Structure 1
Amino acid sequence: MKKLPIHFGVLSALTSTIIPFATANVEKTIFLGPPPVNIPTQKPTLSDLNLPSLTPGNSSIRTELDRVFPSGPPDPVAGQATWLLLDNLVPGQRYEVRVCWSAVWSSKEPTSFDLEVFELNAVWGTPELIQSLAEYASTRQPPDSEPEPQPQVHHDTSDETGERSSSVLLLRVLAAADYFTDNAELMMNPPSVLVDLILDPFLLNVLPRSLLPTSGYIVVVAIVTWIVARWTASYLGSITRPRDPAKKQQ
C-alpha cells in the first residue's frame, strides 16, 4: 500500500493554524532606526507638540483616526494626516510599524491607510510636511495654549547640558475613506476608525518580535503533525500489508 503523503497533513495543520490570525486588516511600513540626534530639553521641545509616542517600551497605542475622502486635482489629498513620534529607537535596528483595524469594520466602511516615516530635519525642511505637522499638533494642544516655536534639532552628537541624544523619527499616517454611499452625511463627514498602532522591532533584523511566539507554535504543530502522519502511515501500511504465507501455515 502506498503511504499517505505527509506534506498534506502538515499543510492542513499550518493552514488551520494561520487562519485564526487573519481577523484584522493590516498596513505597515519597515524602516531602520536613524543615527541619534541631540534634542534640546529646554522649550521648545518635541514634547510640546503633544504627539502620540511609540517607543520600544511603549510599543502599542489604540486610538481613533480621523478620515477624509481622497480628493483629485488640482489639490489632491491622500487622506487625513495623523502624526506620531517614534522615540528611543536603536540606530541601525530594523523596525516595523503596523496599523491594524477590525475586518468587521472594514467590511462596513472600508478605509485605506498610507504610512511613511521621516527624519526630523526632513520634516523641518519641507513646507508641506511642516504645515501638516503643525495643523495636527494644533489639534493636540490644551485649550487657550499659545503655539510653540518650531523645535530645534542638532546633529552634534557631543554631550551638552540641556540636551538629550536619541534616535527618533516622525510617522505620518494618512487615513482615507474608501467607499461610496448615497448618504450625504457619511460622504461629507466619514466617522473615525478605531485602530491599533504597533511598533515592532525585528529580531536580528530578520523576524518581527511579535511573530516569534506564532512562528514557534507553527513549528511545534508542524513537527507534531509530521510525527503523527508518519505513525499513521506506518500503522495503515502494517494492517493492509499481505501476510507471509509461510507464517500463516505455521
Structure 2
Amino acid sequence: MRVVLAGLLCIVTQVWTVNANVEKTVFLAPGPVTLPNVPPSLDDLRLPVLSPSHSILPTQLPVHFPSASLPRGLESWYLLRALDEGRRYEVRICWPATQPTDFWLDTYPITQVYDTPDLISSLAQYSEQLQHPTLPAQRYNKDTTPQSVLFLRIQAAASYYSTNRTLMENPPPVHVDIILDPFVLNILPQSLGPFALYVSAVAVGAWFLSGYIYRWLLSISAELPSKPHTD
C-alpha cells in the first residue's frame, strides 16, 4: 500500500513526466544549529540544496553496477535546509521505469557526518567532484541564524544486465526527480492532500448516493402489486 501511495505522489507532483519507480525516506527535522561563519562552511561544499521553498530537484544521478568495493553503487550528497524543527518530512526520488536502478536514501545530522570518518570522506570526495576551476569562489554564508539542516546521501546502483560491454562498464546517468515533501500535522504528505480530498469526496458522495438508490429500490418494491396465489 505504501508503494502505491508513493507512486501516486510522484504522479501527482510530476504530471509532465512518466516516473514509475520511487524510493523514499521519512524523518523528523532536528533542532536548529548555528552555522559557523568561518571557512570551510557548508556553502563551500557547493552541494545541491533542497528546502521547502525549492522542494523539487530534477537532476541526473551517476550510477555504477554493484561490486565488492561499491556494493550500493555511487554516492551523491545533498543539503536539506530551512526545515521546521520537529516536523515530519519525506524525501522521495522518482525515476523512469526504463532505467532500472536501486536507490538507498539516508539523512544525517551535520555533527554525525563530521564525526564519522567514512561519511566525511564520502562527502569530501563528492564535493571535490563538484568543484570547477572556472566557477567563482564561493562566498561564506554571513547569516548565522540557527537553522534546521540535514545531509542527504543517495546511493545508486544499476540493476539490469546487458550484453553491451561498454554499457556494463559505463552505465548512463539516471534521470530523477528528488522531492522534499513536508507532512501536514505530521500525518499526511502535503502533496497527497489534493488526492486525499478527492478520495474523501468520492467516498462521501458514494455513501449518500448508495443510500438514495437503496431507498428508491425499496419504494419501487413496495409499490409493486403482490402476485395472487391460486389454490
Same fold (TM over 0.5): yes
Q: How does 1:66-215 map to 2 (within 5 A)?
A: 66-72=62-68, 75-102=69-96, 106=97, 108-143=98-133, 163-215=144-196
- What does residue range 222-233 of structure 1 map to in structure 2 within 5 Å? 222-233=203-214
Distance 1:162 1:188 in 2: 44
Out of 59, 64, 67, the position equivalent to 2:60 is 64
Q: Look up the equivalent residue of 1:174 and give its one-letter code.
A: Q
Change (3 A) 1:100 1:190: same
- Cα offsets for 1:190-232 (capped at 9, x unmatched): 1111111111111111111111111011101111122222223
C-alpha distance in 2 between matches for 1:63 and 1:165: 29
Structure 1 counterpart SS, 2:206: helix
Q: Distance in 1 between matches of 2:181 and 2:136?
A: 35
Classify 1:175/1:212 alpha carbon distance in 2 versus 1 (closer, same or farther; 3 Å). same
What is the one-letter code of the residue matched to 2:195?
T
The total of aligned residue pairs comes to 211
Q: Which runs of 5+ in 2 are unaligned?
A: 1-7, 13-18, 227-231
Give the unaligned 5+ runs of structure 1: 1-17, 152-160, 246-250
- Retained in 2: the 8 A contact 1:40–1:162? no
- 1:25 correspondence with 2:6: no
Specify the SS of the correspondent of 2:219.
Answer: helix
CA 1:147–1:70: 2 relative to 1, 3 Å:
farther
Q: Which has the higher contact order (CA 8 A, sep 6+)?
A: 1
In the alignment, the residues of structure 2 paired with residue 175 and residue 241 of structure 1 have an alpha-carbon distance, to the nearest angstrom, of 66
Identity of aligned residues (%): 43
In structure 2, distance between residues paired with 1:66 and 1:162: 33
Question: Distance between the aligned counterparts of 1:146 and 1:59, measured in 2?
Answer: 25
Deviation per CA, 1:90-128, whole angstroms, max 9, x where unpaired? 1211111111112xxx2x331110000011111111121
Q: Is the 8 A contact 1:138 1:147 kept in 2?
A: no
What CA distance in whole angstroms lies between the structure 2 residues aligned with 1:64 and 1:119? Answer: 25
RMSD (Å) for aligned C-alpha atoms: 2.7
Contact (CA 8 Å) 1:40, 1:164: kept in 2 or not?
A: no
Q: TM-score, normalised by structure 1?
A: 0.76
1:15-56 deviation digits (Å, cap 9, x = unpaired): xxx7x9596211110111112111123432111111010111
Give the whole-Å Cα distance in 1 for the aligned partners of 2:130 and 2:115.
22
User: What's the offset of the Cα at 1:244?
Assistant: 4.5
Alignment of 1:2-13 (within 5 A): none
* Greater radius of gyration (CA): 1
Summarize the Cα distance change of 1:186–1:241 in structure 2 as closer, same or farther, 3 Å threshold: farther
Q: What secondary structure does 2:75 align onto? A: strand
